[in-house]
Structure 1
């Protein structure tokens, strides 16, 4: 069977409460499954939160006590992978017989990472992708991933992978994913600007793949109270307005974009559209010029501490 139902979930995190956000994830995943979805994609930093507008009181060369206290609270709301939250999501995926792709803030040692987790319909945690390059002020909070977490999973709904937010503007990263044969290109994001939709259409056309992009909607009333917000303190302010969408391999919009409200967007996709699209353009195949251009991808885990023991 080449046709499948897929969903993108546009919703906000529960402020500063990862356990309650997992409850919300399960409710929304159940809604998507009830509409026939076999795969549900959640936004960037859905667990752990994307507190848009928080500045953590940081200036160049200055980190006051308020900075450290706000980071401590953000750190405590992040999740371990694996951990209690991933166990609950895995159990829900198994109950629903659903692939789940979700953005989280991952706590590893003393560092936070913006990460995407992949769960299979058997409940297994298939793997993860850590964001390679946090953008602008995100670098205050998140470490950089390395090339060891660039997975593409061969699943019944297609070859599944994820690229997070402005990683989608990294041409070499996109090319690496195309080279892995990605077919279901998940793009969890916090970018709600009008320019995002044409970027997703470009990627769908470039990779001749389905693009599933999910963004939060976040109002001032849903912003964590422990952080200062430099955008607005109005509880009715729209801090993130969504724009989630599903795009086919020739750039046609199958669902969305939706703005200013939570939504579960579902579309039927046909994997046979991928070879149809690659008939005249396969960016990592017959349309490549390896005699001129060549990409080297380092997928070695880069560890800062390597212990060597002589016997």
Structure 2
């Protein structure tokens, strides 16, 4: 592990409903972060193709926007992530990317952690989408709680209100996370209180203190043009511009980076002194010396869940049998759909 890591967090507006355009902007920001000396850069939640804020303010009127949004979700092995992986390798920088993932006919709120050689090290899905998000996105499973070894330290990622779920935090702490990618949509946009920039910065500072990690908090912004892009087909978003609150936080809750104005686009930077982790781990380790496993403990099921599992190992053969004769009770070509 390095003693000093140059980190960056993005505060910017995506190219709304445009996967290709946002991919191009992503690559430009990666190049800018690399020129700034960053070794790791974090992007906001569902950065590609942007956070679907219209979901919060619409009913049936949202359906044309939903169709347009779904058409711009990207796949793990698609050209958009391929181009971003290439940019990470070309600029020798680790990238934490939020994106709307298309897998089959469903969408997921996903994060990728890409190494500075372009390797896809983490591909995870939001464990439980929040509130109206559940109408658009599916949920992840226990395999999506991952922390990886890297030359910079042990890196993990969560998005938005995943940071409010204590077991998520405990899972990351137990894996020895040291650098945390924290991805958010635009803040303050949804009113004061639980999605205000003040509240969410406090949540991230608490995460840094509880977990003993450096937190790279990335957030989206929205402009008048962005509001207009989502105020169509009978949907009307509130008058609002801004929402940015990107920052980088030390384990002692100190904000290490500059903080941009809420309507500005840019990248914030900080140098992470990894020796500070020794102090925070000395004071508190909730999964180690500062725990009571004799009193309470929890388990994590990391099984990758699928909606359909075929009992026959050779699906092609089972399809041949099924097409040759009607399926009966002795036919092994039967799929199970486990209850979620």
Q: TM-score range by the shorter chain?
A: over 0.9
Q: Matched residues in 1 for 2:233 and 2:311: separation? A: 43
Query: Where does residue 336 of structure 2 map in the other structure?
Result: none
Deviations 1:107-164, CA, capped at 9 Å, x for gaps: 1111110001111111111121200111111111111111112121101111111011
1:214 aligns with 2:215: no
In 2 relative to 1, CA 304–54 (structure 1 residues): closer, same or farther, beyond 3 Å? closer
What SS is found at the alignment partner of 2:51?
coil
1:242 aligns with 2:244: yes
- List alignment gaps of at least 5 residues for structure 1: 59-63
Query: Where does residue 134 of structure 1 map in the other structure?
Result: 129
Q: Matched residues in 2 for 1:178 and 1:229: separation? A: 41
1:131/1:164 contact within 8 Å kept: yes
Q: Matched residues in 2 for 1:253 and 1:270: separation? A: 13
1:44 aligns with 2:45: yes
Query: Where does residue 69 of structure 1 map in the other structure?
Result: 64
Q: Matched residues in 2 for 1:255 and 1:55: separation? A: 31
Q: Matched residues in 2 for 1:56 and 1:303: separation? A: 32
In 2 relative to 1, CA 297–227 (structure 1 residues): closer, same or farther, beyond 3 Å? farther
2:55/2:132 contact within 8 Å kept: no
Q: CA deviation at 1:57?
A: 4.2
- Write the mapping of 1:21-170 to structure 2, written as runs, cut at 5 A: 21-55=22-56, 57-58=58-59, 64=60, 66-170=61-165
Q: CA deviation at 1:230?
A: 3.8
- List alignment gaps of at least 5 residues for structure 2: 188-195, 313-331, 334-340
Q: Matched residues in 2 for 1:48 and 1:308: separation? A: 37
- Which of these two proteins has the greater Rg computed from alpha carbons? 2
Structure that is richer in strand per residue: 1
Deviations 1:246-299, CA, capped at 9 Å, x for gaps: 001111110144322112101000111111211121111100100011011111
1:204 aligns with 2:198: no
1:101/1:119 contact within 8 Å kept: yes
- Considering only aligned residues, what root-mean-square deviation do their CA atoms show, in Å? 1.7
Count of paired positions: 301
* Structure 1 stretch displaced more, 103-112 or 250-259: 250-259
* Residue 294 (structure 1) aligned to one of 297, 305, 317: 297
1:47/1:105 contact within 8 Å kept: yes
**TM score, norm. by length of structure 2:** 0.84
Q: Matched residues in 1 for 2:256 and 2:26: separation? A: 23
Q: CA deviation at 1:69?
A: 3.1
Q: Matched residues in 1 for 2:100 and 2:113: separation? A: 14
Q: Matched residues in 2 for 1:227 and 1:266: separation? A: 39
Q: Matched residues in 2 for 1:195 and 1:87: separation? A: 35
Q: Matched residues in 2 for 1:228 and 1:144: separation? A: 28
Structure that is richer in helix per residue: 2
1:245/1:256 contact within 8 Å kept: yes
**TM score, norm. by length of structure 1:** 0.92
Q: CA deviation at 1:51?
A: 2.8
Q: Matched residues in 2 for 1:147 and 1:292: separation? A: 23
